[in-house]
């Protein structure tokens, strides 16, 4: 699946104008409907449950009725084993006609998906005569290639509907602003890696404020913890070096047409070092003119 920006097609039909088209897909139960509603609230024209084979026809009709050029989205889900092939073909056709396609993939852990389906007492659309987990496993296998090539992956395992809506608004609330949008998230390794991270760095080389009694109850947003972390040998050198690396990476992402990236900064518990360092990374990138959102996944989890 290509994420390049294709130039306008030679033929002059309406769908060939230079504009963006967002495809929302992913695991059943991961929040596709919530994402669609959030986009609608932002003024997007959204079609839900659209077969991949109709994506181009929808884009063409959207152009004919003069909808906002950069505010058209479709929600697609698995209907058959040919889903990936059909979706790839549709994206190639759209890009060949000058439409810039971006794919947003929503996912969640197996445990969370099981909990959600059991709460609403509904079967998984692919479970057939088998168990709920069988349907989830089958769907994850069909979508593996789609996830690998998506422009934006959002893990909703720990999100409620409000969290997911806020994230969609953060990513799509200012589509008129050019450039790469960065999400810097702190996390604790003991709770697992953020599955939607594009880059991961480890701050466990720094002394842990957890072992300083007066700092233990605080977190990296508190000035005493922040100052303690930043004063440690290697902290400034790390930030200087990582800032330069991110400049190279961001430029490469932009050349490849990537619009969003998630940078994960980890320590043991996601409370002290990673929080302080993530804030610093975000501040430095903003100073360089980048659009950055900073969040802290595991603060308050202990």
User: Annotated binding site for GTP: which residue ranges?
Assistant: 77-80
- Asked if 285 and 173 touch (Cβ cutoff 8 Å), the reply is no
User: What string of H, E and C letters represents the secondary structure of 191-214?
Assistant: HCCCCCCCEEEECCCCCCHHHCCC
Q: Is 270 left (phi over 0), alpha (psi -120 to 50) or beta?
A: left
Q: Which two tokens stand for residue 120?
A: 């609403």
C-alpha atoms less than 13 angstroms from C-alpha of 78 in its C-beta half-sphere: 26
Q: Which two tokens stand for residue 93?
A: 């056709």
- Binding-site residues sit at 26-33, 77-80
- Asked if 179 and 257 touch (Cβ cutoff 8 Å), the reply is no
Which letter does DSSP use for residue 300 in this model? T
Which residue in 164, 118, 108, 115 sits closest to 140, CA to CA?
108
Tokens 């466990």 locate to 204
- Binding-site residues for ATP sit at 26-33
Q: How far is Cα of residue 9 from the mean position of the Cα atoms in its chain? A: 29
Which residue in 206, 226, 204 sits closest to 215, CA to CA?
226
**Angle of helix 83-96 versus helix 55-64 axis, rounded to 10:** 40
Distances (CA, A) of 174 to 43, 45, 157, 169: 11, 15, 25, 8
Cα(301)–Cα(271) distance, integer angstroms: 8
């Amino acid at each position: 699946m290509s994420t390049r920006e294709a130039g306008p097609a030679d033929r002059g039909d309406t769908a060939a104008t230079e504009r963006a088209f967002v495809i929302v897909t992913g695991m059943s139960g991961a929040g596709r409907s919530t994402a669609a509603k959030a986009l609608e609230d932002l003024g997007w024209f959204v079609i839900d449950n659209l077969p991949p084979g109709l994506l181009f026809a929808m884009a063409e009709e959207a152009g004919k009725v003069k909808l906002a050029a950069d505010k058209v989205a479709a929600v697609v889900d698995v209907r058959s084993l040919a889903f990936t092939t059909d979706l790839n073909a549709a994206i190639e056709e759209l890009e060949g006609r000058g439409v810039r396609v971006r794919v947003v993939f929503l996912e969640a852990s197996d445990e969370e998906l099981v909990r959600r389906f059991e709460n609403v007492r509904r079967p998984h659309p692919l479970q057939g005569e088998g168990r709920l987990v069988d349907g989830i496993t089958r769907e994850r296998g069909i979508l593996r290639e789609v996830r690998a090539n998506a422009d934006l992956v959002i893990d909703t395992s720990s999100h409620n509907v409000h969290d997911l809506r806020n994230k969609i608004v953060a990513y799509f609330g200012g589509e008129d602003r050019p450039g790469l949008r960065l999400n810097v998230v702190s996390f604790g390794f003991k709770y697992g890696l953020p599955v939607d991270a594009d880059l991961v760095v480890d701050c466990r080389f720094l002394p842990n404020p957890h072992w300083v009694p007066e700092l233990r109850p605080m977190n990296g947003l508190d000035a005493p913890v922040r100052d303690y972390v930043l004063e440690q040998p290697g902290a400034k050198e790390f930030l200087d070096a990582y800032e330069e690396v991110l400049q190279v990476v961001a430029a490469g992402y932009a050349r490849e047409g990537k619009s969003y990236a998630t940078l994960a900064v980890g320590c043991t518990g996601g409370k002290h070092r990673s929080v302080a360092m993530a804030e610093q990374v975000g501040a430095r990138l903003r100073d360089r003119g980048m659009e950055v959102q900073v969040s802290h996944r595991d603060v308050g989890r202990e």
